[in-house]
Structure formats: C-alpha cells, structure tokens
Structure 1
Amino acid sequence: MAQALSKDLDKSLDLKGGPSESALPASSSRLLDGVVPQDVPFPMKGDIQTMTCPSQPSVALPPAMASVKQYTADEVLKLMNRTPLFMTTLDETDGEGGDNLELEAIRALAYEGTRAEIAGNFKEQGNDMAKVKRWVDAKEFYSKALAALKAPLKPQDPDEGPADMDVVEVDEEAEGKKELQIEEACFVNRALCNLELKNYRSCNLDCALALRINSSNVKAWYRSASACLALDKIPEAEDSCARGLEVDPDNAALRLLHVKVGKRKEYVESLQRERRKREEQKRAEERALKMALKGRNILTRQSGQPPEMEDATIKLSDPLDASSTLSFPAILLYPLQLQSDFIKAFQETESVGQHLTYIFPLPWDEKNEYTPESVECYMETVSGGLIKAGKKMSLLKILNSGKVEVVDGMLKINVVPKAKAAEWIEDFKRKRRPT
C-alpha cells in the first residue's frame, strides 16, 4: 500500500520536472501565463544554442545564463525594474508598447476587499514610509487611503460565480466605526507629513479634520500647535496646547511644547514692544522737527522725486528738542563748470563762507577762479528768482526770511566767480523767462 502511494505521489508531483500544468487549477494557470518566467529570466534576442561559454567555446551556456549574457548591465537593470521585487521606479515599468502584468496584478490586489480593508492597506504602507522618514511617499499613501474611504463599493463581477456562493455578510455598524478610525488616523498621520514638509497650513487643515472626528485626539492638538507655532500664530498655538492638555494633562510632549510657545510669546511681545517704542520715538522726532521748522519760519516742500541721500536728512542735534540746533544737507553747485560739492550737515548757525574755507581750493580749478574772496553765492527763491546768500550770513538768517524754501530736504547753493556773476544771472533769468 505504501509503495503504491509513493508511485502515485511521484507521478502527480513530477519531482524531476516540477508540477505539470494539468496539475494546477485552471485559474492558477491563467494567472501564471505571461506573468511568472518559465525558462529564462529575460526574453531571448537570438538562438540560445549559439551562446557559448567564453572560456570553453565548445560548451553552450545554460538558458538562464544565456538570457542574461545577451544584455548589457544597463539593459539588465532596466529589465529588472519591470519586476516588482526589484523596482526602483514606476514611471517606465510598462516597457515598450506593452503592459507589465506582474505589476498590474499587484496593483489590482491593493483594491480588493472592503473600503476599510483597502484604506487600511494604504494606511499601513504610509506608516512604513513614515518610519523611514519618506514623508512625500507617506503623504501619498495616506491620501490614497482617504480617497478609498470615499470611493463607491466595487460591484460584484458576474464571472466570479453565482451570488449565492459563500456570501460574507458585513456588519455595517462595525465597518463604519472601523472606517472612521482609519480616517482619523490618516488625517493625523498626514498632518505629521505636512508638518515635516513645512506645509503648515495643510497640517492645520488635516488636524482640524481629525478633530472633527475625535476632539480628544492629542496628536492632532500637538501637531496643530506645532504648525501654528511655526507660523508665529501664538494665540492659536496656545489654544491648541491648552485643549490638548485638557484631554491629557500629563502629556510630556504637549507640556514641553506649551513652554516653548510661552517663550516664543515672550520673545515676540518683546519685539513688538521694541517696534512700538521705535515707532513712537520716530513720531516724536518728526513732531519735534516739524515744530522746529515752523518756529523758525523755514519753508519746506517735496517735489515727489527726492534724491537718494541715505542718512543725510534735516536733523536736530537733540532729536526730541525743537529748540536744539538744526542742520541741513546741502549741495554747492558750480553751474559754469557743471561741478558740485556735498555738505552732509550744514548747521543753521554756520555761514556759507565757513564751508568754503575748507572746500577751496578746488582740484579742477586750474585758473584759480574759485576762492572764498572771489566768488558769490546765490539761492533760488520761492517765486523762481535768485537771492544772494551772504558768505558771512548765518544759514538761519537766510532761511527764516521766508524767501527761500528747502526742497526735498536739501539746500542748493550756486557758487560763481564775481567776475562772471552778472552774466550768469542774466542767463539764469533768460532760461526761466516764459517764451
């Protein structure tokens, strides 16, 4: 009896040649057809018999080795990428003009089962990606899980058999609870991905969606507080920490984050106090300057196109004291030579002559026409004419006459040789005279 069983068993299994195709179920044969390699790992380009061993030309290579040898290393890697076990990318796995049956079979398996089973499968893949910090991939899997929960149920395929065969009844209430649990977990976990990817607004949105399902989810409160802190939304971060601690007062991570939020709040408030202080200081200085100009009867005007002067501005020696000394940026123009000199701070108590003593002699004045004694100074008046600026007269006396105005915060003083002053004045008037 034992000998008979042994012969029958050997015949059915065909231990030398492997299981015969007739021994497999028809469905298994169809699945393996075109999917599982039978003889060689890669398609053959030519006749196997022509492939020989390099060291022994008379010996033909085995079929499996021959199928590998006919390809370059890059071609082998490309072919291996079509095998799910060795894939490094999904972009080019279909090859040239054909489908990858192995890959499609695996993809189809991902969408078999109830919504909770499909979503749960994607969620677990997302968890695997998150463990190795592949946040973009993890986020994609969680998104697929959430999409699966909203997808309609797949109708039964009539080819799968009669409707009365082994029908599994699903507890809709239990299935609904399971779907809700998976949905909550996916929102919380996707929030973590968004937090790590610095997508703080998306993180907050996912946390809000998770908290709609379960307002006691401490992870959602923690991640929402972290995202708000990153955006410097301090009140929102404080609120999220407080609500999370109401659920779990002893949560160490939340307590530490709450302290961190408090320190950030103090720092931000100190910056705001400093900014308000600077703004108030600036307003006080502007008020004092305005009062000083008005008290001295000095006219000012803005043209709308002020020159770039950096920190050269009208200033008080004591910015908050309107009675302290005023100083003005000034430019000395030499119109006959198209030259100029800049004075950063021309004090109201000083005269033009005092500045000319250190500016002269001029490096370009080869004829020595410009000396403190041989030049005259002129400033334009409010009406468009000229007024002579005495070289010994204080700047304040010139400005508070009401005939001269300071345009764009800068004084303009024309300097010309005495011998040519009359000619220049006539030319100036002619250019200003309406045609």
Structure 2
Amino acid sequence: MTLQNGQPQTDAAPSADIPPGMQRMKEYTVDELLKEMNRVPLFMTSLDQTDGEGGENVELEALRALAHEGTRAEIAQNFREQGTELVRLEKRYPEARDYYTKALQALDAPPREPDPEQGPQIVEIDEEAEAEKERSIREACLVNRALCNLEMKNYGSCNRDCAAALKMNPKNVKAWYRAASACLALDKVDESIDACESGMRFEPQNSALRTLLTKGQQRKVHLAELERVRVERETKKRAELAAVQRALKTRSIPTRTTDRPPEMPEASITLEDSLDPASLLSFPVMLLYPAHAQTDFIKQFWENESISEHLSYILPVPWDTEHEYTLNSVDCYMETIEGGLIKAGKKLALLKLLSSGKLEIQDGLVRINVVPQAKATEWIGEFKARRAKP
C-alpha cells in the first residue's frame, strides 16, 4: 500500500461483493442473462421456461402448487383475485375471464382427499360460514366474468352469467346493469329496459342504470320509427304493384314470370302516377341485335311511344362498321305467346303491340329484335330451326 495525497492507495480497485451463486452470471451475455431471469416468476414473460433439459422451474411449480392449496373457497378466491388484477390494471379480459372460470370450477370441485403421507389432520371448519364464503365468491366471479364477456362482445355468455348471478342474488345491481348492456347491444330493447328497471328497484338513483335506461328508451323510439317507415314503404310498394297489375289487366296485356328472371333492380313496369292504374304505363325494353349479338336497354318506354321514336336516337350504333343499321334499313320482330314471331310495326304505339293478344311480357321485360332487312330472311330461318329442335 502506498500513500497518495495523504490517503492510502491500493494497487487495484476494490471488487464488488458478489454472492457465490451469482459468480457465474459474470460470464453470461445479455441474452443469456435475460433468459435466466425469465425463469424467475418475478421477471417472467412466458410460462414455458424450465431449469434445463427435462427439468422443471422449481419456483414456478411451487407457485402453481400454492394456487391449488387450501379449501375450495381459498383456491377460488386466489383465482378470482388474479382475474380482478388483470381487469383492473391491464384490461386483459380474455385472460381474466379464464381465471374467473377456474375459480368457478374450483367451487364445483369435490372436496380434496387428505394426503396420507402427512398423517391425520384435524381441521375445524365452520361449514355454514364456508358455504356462505363460496356463495359470495361464486356470485362475484359470475358478475365479473359477465363483465369480461360484455367487453369481448360475447353478449349471450354475458347474459347467462348475469342470469346465474341474479338467481343467487336478485339484488345484484351490477348483474342487472351488465345484462341490460348486453341486451341493448343485441337490440333487445324491451329486455334491456326491463333489466334497468329491475335493478333500479333496489337502487333507484343508480346513475349508470338511469343513463342506460334512457339510452334504451331512445333506441326503442328510434327502432319504432324505423319500423313505421318500413311498414309504410312496403305498404306503398304493395299498393303500387297492385295498381300496375290492374293497369295491365285493364289493357289486356298478358304477363308471365319464369324461374330465372333477369336482375333489374332499377327497372320495372311503372305508372306515371304510381297509384293510378289509368295513368300512363312505362316498360323496360331490351333491344336485341341477334345478327351481331349486341343489345341496348331502354329503362322507360312509354306505352304511347313507338319503336321508331327510340330507334331514331339509338341508330346508328357505334359497333355497326358495315352501316347496316339505320331507321329505314331494319325491321323489328317480337316473339309470340306460342313461340313464333311477328313483325312489329316501327310506327305503332307500344300499347297497340302489347295489347294485340299475340304477345306477352316475360319477367317484366319487353324484348324487341332489331334485324337488318338484308339479313331478316336468314335470321328468321335460323330462329325457326332452333324452335323446331326437340
């Protein structure tokens, strides 16, 4: 030892005192040290660590064993407290629900048999007090598990837990509130209102129940208004359909519905005045160009309009490179009820054609074939040949 500035000076800095069991830690890397710490329950981040090949984590297994020691009430209470901590501190509802389920399973388990290795044990238990403790824990776990299910949107399970708790204690306001919340989420408004009112019989000034009751009542009014509008809309739609049917019958226009009607969500036979059968009728019309496999669709073709009035703005069509389709160079054909063809006068009003007794409207759609005159004979022959095939 030497002196420097009047103070003793050692040749080396003093080493920190490290317990013998920790000396080997000095040789670990950071990753190895973290892995070792994870075997200690206090620092644990996963539950699958062991103490080596084929070994067990002794400290963890000891804690697990403690969780299952004691009376059913003590074991259940331990699980209940773990679930409550997960809810209160971290909002980890799935894991908390599992702990509440374990608590309930512990309460339903048969009494534990004494360990013969420990010899006879005399334990005095107040059975009545123990039963009351179990009942209290069961009720709390059911209500708390209901909360977890409510937060996880498992509304059916929430209601079942609340029902079980309320069977034990009809005055449990938390159970009434959570049941009412689950019912409201499912739009079971009457049940939600009933649950709120049932809970308020025991706590009339409970602010949470009063707020939820107001929401339920407002939702009921809203749903009633939606139902009123729906019924009114459907009633009007039925009346409009009935008016169209009367208009078609009055005009002697046959109709037929097949098994596979075309999808026309925005096109249908309509009246100018939707409820007056005497007003003008409008038809959706499909113009077919069978010689070129093309089509055009007319959403509103009024009964007093002629085919030529529409062809005048449709023709010529952009795909007609041979200039075969002009108002004066095409003829129009419509299928008859018997499956044949009639030549439709281009200048006739649509109503005159449809009420001739030879045609019918299929699936609410009028079909008109537009054929170049130069190809009409060939196309009619092909049409007849197709019809003649069995």
After TM superposition, the score normalised by the length of structure 2 is 0.90
Aligned AA (1:315):
T
1:348 aligns with 2:306: no
* Residue of structure 2 equivalent to 1:143: 101
Of 114, 117, 124, the residue aligned with 1:159 is: 117
Deviation at 1:245, TM superposition (A): 0.9
Whether the 8 Å contact between 2:171 and 2:202 is mirrored in structure 1 is yes
Amino acid corresponding to residue 118 of structure 2 in structure 1: E
Q: Distance in 1 between matches of 2:386 and 2:378?
A: 13
Read off the aligned partner of 1:131 and give its amino acid letter: R
Query: C-alpha distance in 2, partners of 1:69/1:397?
Result: 104
- CA gap of 1:347–1:419, structure 2 versus 1, over 3 A, is same
Q: Which secondary structure does the structure 2 equivalent of 1:293 belong to?
A: helix
**Could you tell me how far apart the structure 1 residues matched to 2:16 and 2:87 are?**
49
The secondary structure found in structure 1 opposite 2:342 is strand
Match of 2:72 among 108, 115, 127: 115
Query: Over residues 339-382 of structure 1, what are the superposed CA-to-partner deviations in whole Å (9 max), with x where a residue is unaligned?
Result: 33222211110011111211122333344333222322111101
Taking the aligned partners of 1:111 and 1:417, their CA distance within structure 2 comes to 92
Q: Which moved more, 1:425-434 or 1:131-140?
A: 425-434
Matched residue SS, 1:247: coil
Aligned to 2:30: 73
For 2:380 and 2:146, locate their aligned partners in 1 and report how far apart those are by CA, in whole Å: 77
1:232 aligns to 2:197 (yes or no): no
Q: Does 1:127 find its partner at 2:84?
A: yes
139, 158, 174: which one aligns with 1:203: 158
Query: Post-superposition shift, 1:431?
Result: 3.0
Q: Is 1:302 the counterpart of 2:260 in the alignment? A: no
Assess if the C-alpha contact under 8 Å between 1:81 and 1:93 holds in 2: no
Which residue in the other structure is 1:285 paired with?
240
Which residue is 1:11 aligned to? Answer: none
Shift of 1:385: 1.1
Counterpart for residue 254 of structure 1: 209
Q: Where in structure 1 are there 5+ consecutive unaligned residues? A: 1-55
Greater Rg over alpha carbons, structure? 1
- Kindly tell me: are residues 95 and 257 of structure 1, through their superposed partners in 2, closer, same or farther at Cα, counting changes over 3 Å? farther
Who is 1:188 aligned against?
143
Match of 1:36 in 2: none
Cα RMSD (Å): 2.2
Residue identity in the other structure for 1:70:
E
Alignment map for 1:47-58 (pairs within 5 Å): none
Q: Which runs of 5+ in 2 are unaligned?
A: 1-11
C-alpha distance in 1 between matches for 2:283 and 2:31? 76
Measured after TM superposition, the shift of residue 433 of structure 1 is 2.6
- Could you tell me whether the CA contact under 8 Å between 2:334 and 2:342 is conserved in 1? yes
- Using the alignment, how far apart are the partners of 1:131 and 1:367 within structure 2? 80
Residue 200 of structure 2: aligned partner: 245
The one-letter amino acid of 1:221's match is W
1-side partners of 2:344 and 2:320: how far apart? 22
- Offset at 1:102? 1.0
Count of aligned residue pairs for this structure pair:
375
1:385-432 CA-to-partner distances (Å, cap 9, x unmatched) read: 111111111000000111011112211112223344344333332332
Residue 265 of structure 1 pairs with residue 220 of structure 2: yes
- Could you tell me the percent identity over the aligned residues? 59
